[in-house]
Structures are given as C-alpha cells and as structure tokens.
Amino acid sequence: MTDYIDFYTESELDDLIDDIFEIEGVNRIKELSRQLRTFFNYNAEMIQFRFLANVPKNNFPKKDSTNSRFYSHKRELESLSQEFISLLNSIKRDDTTLEQEINYLHFDKNLTKLNKLSTITEKIWSLKHSLSEQGIHNHPKFLKFIVVLAQHVCFVKKCLNAEFYPFYEELVINYCNLEKELSDLLEEIPSIKNRSIIKLREEELLS
C-alpha cells in the first residue's frame, strides 16, 4: 500500500482526492435533485387530479388495465411497503422513538439491520420515482398511499443520512402538506367519496 501511495507525488495525490470528493459531491447533488423532482412530479399529479373534481362522473377517466408496467410497479411497491413496515416495527420499541432506535443501530454498528433498512428504502424510493412519471393521478387512492409512504421513507432517510437531515425534514413536511390536499380533494369528489379511502397498508403507516 505504501509503495502504491509513493507512486504519486503529494500534489497528484491531493488532486486525486479532490476528484474523488468532487465526483461523490456531484452524485449526492444529483440524488437530492432527483428526489426533489419526484416530489414535484407528485405535486403535479395532484394538480391534475384537482382538475378532475369538475369533470362529470360519466366522463371520469377510466383506469388503463392494460398498463402492465404500472400495475407491476404498483404490486412491487405494495409488497415492499409491507416489508418496510414490518422492519420498522421490529426496530421500534415502546420506550423510545423510531429515530432514537435507528441512531442506536449506528452506535451499536448493527450493520445487518442498517443495510437491510437502507436497501429496502432505496428500492421503495426508486419505484416511487418511476411511478411519479406514470400518470398516477388516475389512481387517486394509490397516489395518496404513496404520498403517505413517502413521508416515512423520507423520515428514515434523514436518520440514515445525518448530513442531509434538514433536507429530508423539509421533504417530510412537503409530503405531509400534499397528503392533506389530497385528503381534502378525495372528500370533495363524489365518485371517490364513498369508496374505501385508505387501504390496510396505509392504515398501518398512519397508526
């Protein structure tokens, strides 16, 4: 290892380290930008759904049952959300907050649970981003479910990435506001009002 380092001059080694940090910084910025874009996509979907409030019932857009990609992602996200909830329940104890328990995983160097939590969080985030670009405003109940799920995913990400804690904290607030707007809209639209608004998995998230 010493011979490898000696191969570089001090100046070259400094430049190499700078390049590594620059690449890492760019990747982090791209990721945060992507997460903001995902939120704005869902906000745009909510706005499109808002316009449906004035559409006559007979003209209400029908769901496209032939969109296999959408329904494949939907099923996968629902399955992952169950696993996500179960994992959080296994971490949380009655006498502490979930944030404290995740911090304890860091302190105890419990890499098994940390890696599992990080992996499933990233899988959900990737699917959530993909679904945000698939016209999900035609599926308002599922749209709300994702918005609720996003709050919990952002919460976990702020615990796993302390350096970006304020960013994810703000994102949680934004998704909470989006959920409130969607809830109000779901109550306003007669064709949606009498349906079961929240599925079992969403009830578990809200509990």
* pLDDT at 196 > cutoff 50: no
Q: Does residue 108 or residue 37 have the better pLDDT?
A: 37
121-123-125-130 Cα dihedral, nearest 10 degrees: -170
Q: Find the Cα–Cα–Cα–Cα dihedral 85, 124, 112, 29, rounded to 10°.
A: -130
Query: Of 69 and 22, which is predicted with more confidence?
Result: 69
Left (φ > 0), alpha (ψ -120 to 50) or beta: where does 37 sit? Answer: alpha
Number of alpha helices (DSSP H) and beta strands (DSSP E) in the chain: 9, 0
Distance CA 159, CA 127 (A): 20
Q: How far is CA 65 from CA 68, 116, 139, in A?
A: 7, 33, 11
Residue 27 clears pLDDT 70, i.e. is over it: no
SS3 content of the chain, % helix, strand, coil (to 5): 80, 0, 20
**Rounded Cα–Cα distance for residues 69 and 131 (Å):** 9
* Residue with token string 């029908």: 62
Q: How far apart are CA 2 and CA 41, in angstroms?
A: 50
What pLDDT is attached to residue 109? 77
Residue 53's pLDDT band, with cuts at 50, 70 and 90, is low
pLDDT digits (tens, 9 = 90+) for 85-130: 999 988 888 788 888 888 888 877 778 888 999 999 999 999 998 8
**pLDDT given for residue 176 in this prediction:** 94
